[in-house]
Amino acid sequence: SSNAIKVADVQVGPQSFEKIRPLGKGDFGRVYLVREKATNRLYAMKVLSKKEMIQRNKIKRALAEQEILATSNHPFIVTLYHTFQSEDYLYLCMEYCMGGEFFRALQTRKTKCISEQDARFYAAEVTAALEYLHLMGFIYRDLKPENILLHQSGHIMLSDFDLSKQTRSMKNPSMSTANATNKTLMTLDTKACIDGFRTNSFVGTEEYIAPEVIRGTGHTAAVDWWTLGILIYEMLFGTTPFKGANRNQTFSNILKSDIVFPDSQHITSQCKNLIKKLLIKDENKRLGSKLGASDIKNHPFFKNVQWALLRNQSPPMIPVLSKTGADFHRNKNKTSSSIDISKEESIEPEADENNPFEGFDSMTLIHDGNNY
C-alpha cells in the first residue's frame, strides 16, 4: 500500500468507545467489537491484561505486536488506529474485519473446502503479506486460518502478531536473479532481511507446526513457508495433512510421514508440486529457503497471478451481513468475564525503568487514504 502513516499523540481513551460484544479471546487478552462514540465507526479493540502478562511473562509479545502493527502499512495486514493504556490494561484499536475468520468462512461451505483457483487467490494474498513482513524483518510464526480475517471487501488480512519475532539486525533486501521457466528475472531476496535469524521458542498451532520447531533446533523464516503449505492443503481438502489422533501422533506424522493427497478434489500437478515443496521437512531445502517469497511467487502454480494487482481483483467470497447484523466472528466463551472499558481511564506511564509497560506507546496512527 502506498498509504503514508503519520503518528500523532493519542486522541482517544477507553471511554471514547462503546463496547458492542466480544469477538474472540486470546492467551492473555480479549477482542471486542467497539463503536467510537464521536464518529460511530466500528473497530476491533484488543484489550490485554497487564496482570496476566506479568504473571505469564508475555510483556515482550505485546510490545512486539504493537511494533509490528504500528510499522506495517500493507493492504493484507490489519490496520492499527490507536494504542493506549489504563492502570490494568493495554489497548490496541484495530480495523474491524466484518467477514470474521477466514477459517469460519470455509466451515460454512458444504464441502469445508474451496477450488484450486480460489485457493490460489488466497494463497497469493497470504504470500504477499508474508513477503512484506519478512521485508520488515518479522517472522510471522503463527499462520493459521483463525488468524486470517476476511475484510468486508473479501480480501484477507493477517492478524494476531503476538507470536512474531523481529530480527536483531535488520538487513536490506538484495536483488538476485531467479530462473523461472527459462526467463531470467530480477527478484527481491527477502531472505536477506532475516538471514541467520533463528529463534528457539515453541509456538504455533500443533497441526501447523514445522518439523524444525518440534525438533527444537531453532527456526527461521522458512517456518512461515511450511505453514503456507499446510494452509493451501487445508483450503483444498478441508483437513490438514499430518493430523493424528493426538498431539504426539500429529508431531510424529509431521516429522516422518509423507503427504497424501485425497481423491476428494482433483488438483493440478503444479499445485501438488507447490505443496510438496513447501512441506519439505528439511528447512534448508524447502521452497522459500533460497530467495524467500520470490521462490514462491516464481513457482508455476502462481504463473498467471498479477501480484501488483491482487488488491484490485474480485475475491472469490464476499462476506454478507445477515439480517440480524451478525457476522462470522465467533464468540467461543459466552460466559467469560467481560472487561468494562467505559470505567477505565487512560494513563501515560512515567518514564521509569521498573515499569515493564513503559515501552508501550500511546498514539494515534493517521492513515492517508483507506486500503480499499
Which stretches of the chain are assigned E, i.e. beta strand?
Answer: 5-9, 17-25, 29-36, 42-49, 80-86, 89-95, 138-139, 148-150, 156-158, 165-166, 174-180, 183-189, 346-347, 363-367
Cα gap 292→171, rounded to integer Å: 14
CB 241 within 8 A of CB 260: yes
Closest CA relative to residue 278, chosen from 268, 293, 257, 261: 293
Distance CA 77, CA 291 (A): 22
Q: 114: how many CB neighbours lie within 10 A of its CB?
A: 20
Q: In the numeric block, which cell numbers belong to residue 147?
A: 488468524
User: What b/e sequence results for 212-251 when a residue is b if at least 16 CB atoms lie within 10 Å of its CB, and e otherwise?
Assistant: bbbeeeebbbbbbbbbbbbbbbbbbbbebbbeeeeeeebb
Which candidate in 142, 189, 295, 327 is catalytic? Answer: 142
Cell numbers standing for residue 19: 463496547
Closest CA to 209 of 223, 190, 195: 223
Is 46 annotated to bind ligand?
yes
Which residues have CB under 8 Å from 214's CB, separation 6+?
A: 251, 254, 255
Strand partners for 139: 165
Evaluate whether 22 touches 333 at the Cβ level (below 8 Å). yes
Q: How many helices (H) and strands (E) are present in the chain, helices listed first?
A: 10, 14
Grid cell of 8 as nine digits: 500523532
- Residue 9 annotated in active site: no
Return binding residues for ATP: 46
Catalytic residue annotation: 142
